[in-house]
Amino acid sequence: APWKAQFHAREVMRKLYSSAPDGYPGDEDNGQTSAWYVFSALGFYPVTPTVGQYAIGSPLFRRTSVTMPGGKVLTIEAENNSRDNVYIQSATLNGTPYAKPWLSREALQAGGTLRFVMGPTPNKQWGTATADRPFSMSKAR
């Protein structure tokens, strides 16, 4: 369920990462551990990099921007974001309602504005439609 991913992404960032010398879990092979944190702090992270889909988690920032290769800017906004408001209530991508619990690489690279409205309780309906599910190797849909 997307709301569980939102909860756990924020919990992992809060409990397992810090600015201390040993402030990340495990071995930092190839920068993957810190890269996961950076992606997750933005509000999404790669699960299967070869597929080009990024799972939506729970952003840490109220507003941030990333300049993509080619110069396009992706702005991520999280209204009502706080330590307690970790759950996505709704989302829009470039002003259009967005209900998928994942983003395509193409959508990110195109730039624009990804806007989340955050809250303290899960919206158990957001991102749960069968048609909105991310890629899966499993035949169970």
Instruction: Provide the whole-model pTM.
Output: 0.89
Provide the residue ranges of all domains of the chain, joining segments of one domain with +: 2-132
CATH class of 2-132: alpha beta
Tens place of pLDDT per residue across the chain (141 aa): 999 999 999 999 998 888 888 787 777 777 778 888 899 999 999 988 788 999 999 999 999 999 999 999 999 999 999 999 999 999 999 999 999 999 999 999 999 999 999 999 999 999 999 989 888 867 665
For position 83, what pLDDT does the model report?
95
State the Cα–Cα distance between residues 39 and 43, nearest whole angstrom: 7
Classify each residue of 48-64 as buried b or exposed e, where b means 16 or more C-beta atoms within 10 Å of its C-beta. eeeebbbbbbbbbeeee
State the Cα–Cα distance between residues 135 and 129, nearest whole angstrom: 14
